[in-house]
Amino acid sequence: MKAVSLLVAPAWVGDAVMSEPLIRKISAHDQCPVDVLAPPWVAPLYERMPNVGSVIAAPFAHGRFDLTARWQLGRALRAHSYQNAYILPNSLKSALPTFFAGIPNRIGFTGESRYGLINQRQKLDKQLLPRMVDRFLALGPTGRTTLDADIPQLSAVPGAFERLRQTLGLTLHGKLAILCPGAEYGPAKRWPAQHFATLAHRLSEAGYTIWTIGSAKDQEIGASIEALSDGKAINLCGRTKLADAIDLMSGADIVVSNDSGLMHVGAALHRPLIALFGSSSPQFTPPLSNQVAILQHPVPCSPCFARTCRYGHLDCLNLLSPDLVMTSIRTLNQESLSA
């Protein structure tokens, strides 16, 4: 069935994952799939969401205004005859294509003074809606929702895990632990490589195979963890695309991740997840799952939301011990078995 609504997606992986409940809500209201306009680097996520129809790649470089290209895209979108556009980013430029497309109902928060561009504006009350997922859902149509309406869902491609394992030359013995040591925001969100390596030793002793995944930017920390763990944590950082990461994580018995986009991917795949928080707060963008343990060491200066530690000690993460994480893994796995 032809989509009547278009969702303009956010640019961050975690935010994109948290838009899935809104897509589900719109789809239930429209009784048809929802099309998505997304940056190429998050488009694979939307291809794994059950209520998405077509995924249209936004041809804009990150941060570029590119008025002509946005006008051209808007003209091309007219052929789809969308009735509704849900614009999730708050930037002015993100609202331009749907305006140029002449979509009748353009829904979003006021953001960067987008008067006229957004003709069904909502004022964001951050106190009333502290979580990102709730802010997105507030833009959707009214109506009944299920009890788990705010829990994102992603699906893996059947058989892809085993095909990827063979393609990458990976062996798997016992349970699988996946480590996600990256965090795009900055080092104040990254658990130390030595801690990940120590955890890898503990996991190996408990019979786990350990793979470390991340983007090309995480290759150095992945290599460091592999070396410090005496090869127990196999470094796959930079060897997989986002779609591959989804399929690999779908086979994990435990995922250990910093507060990052992959943390939200693991939660949306409903894998048992240990989420490590440093300078950020789980009050705003928590991993949404029934199988998650959120760990954060209490220090007076946290959360500071800084990219780097202003005091130079990074105690919020350095004092979060691998032994505590291992204990949480055992507890979470026991809960998963009894669920």
Residues 207 and 105 in one domain: no
Residues 89 and 192 in one domain: no
Distance CA 19, CA 31 (A): 18
Domain's final residue, options 106, 138, 170: 138
21, 30, 88, 281: CA torsion to nearest 10:
-10
The answer to the question of residue 145 being in a domain is no
Do 88 and 5 meet the contact criterion of CB atoms below 8 Å apart?
no
Give the domain extent around 91: 5-138
Which tokens is 92 given? 């002015």
Give the per-residue pLDDT at 265: 98
Give the per-residue pLDDT at 64: 79
Residues 175 and 314 in one domain: yes
pLDDT tens per residue, range 226-260: 999 999 999 999 999 999 999 999 999 999 999 99
- Exposed e or buried b per residue across 113-149, where buried means at least 16 C-beta atoms within 10 angstroms of its C-beta: ebeebbeebeebeeeeeebbbebbbebbeeeeeeeee
Residues 207 and 272 in one domain: yes
pTM score = 0.94
The answer to the question of residue 247 being in a domain is yes
Residues 129 and 210 in one domain: no
Residues 133 and 64 in one domain: yes
Q: Kindly list the distances between the CA atom of residue 117 and the CA atoms of 94, 111, 282, in Å, as whole numbers in the listed order.
A: 10, 11, 32
- Omega before 59 cis (within 30°)? no
Residues 203 and 261 in one domain: yes
Q: Can you give the CATH number for the domain in which 270 is found? A: 3.40.50.2000
Residues 179 and 318 in one domain: yes
Residues 196 and 286 in one domain: yes
Do 267 and 152 meet the contact criterion of CB atoms below 8 Å apart?
yes
| Tally of structural domains, the chain | 2
Which tokens is 263 given? 């943390």
The answer to the question of residue 241 being in a domain is yes
Give the per-residue pLDDT at 185: 87
Residues 242 and 202 in one domain: yes
Low-confidence ranges of the chain (pLDDT < 50): 144, 147
Domain's final residue, options 79, 104, 138: 138
Domain's final residue, options 104, 138, 172: 138
The answer to the question of residue 176 being in a domain is yes
Residues 168 and 126 in one domain: no
Residues 105 and 221 in one domain: no
Give the per-residue pLDDT at 144: 46
The answer to the question of residue 10 being in a domain is yes
pLDDT tens per residue, range 64-116: 788 999 999 999 999 999 999 999 999 999 999 999 999 999 999 988 888 89
The answer to the question of residue 144 being in a domain is no
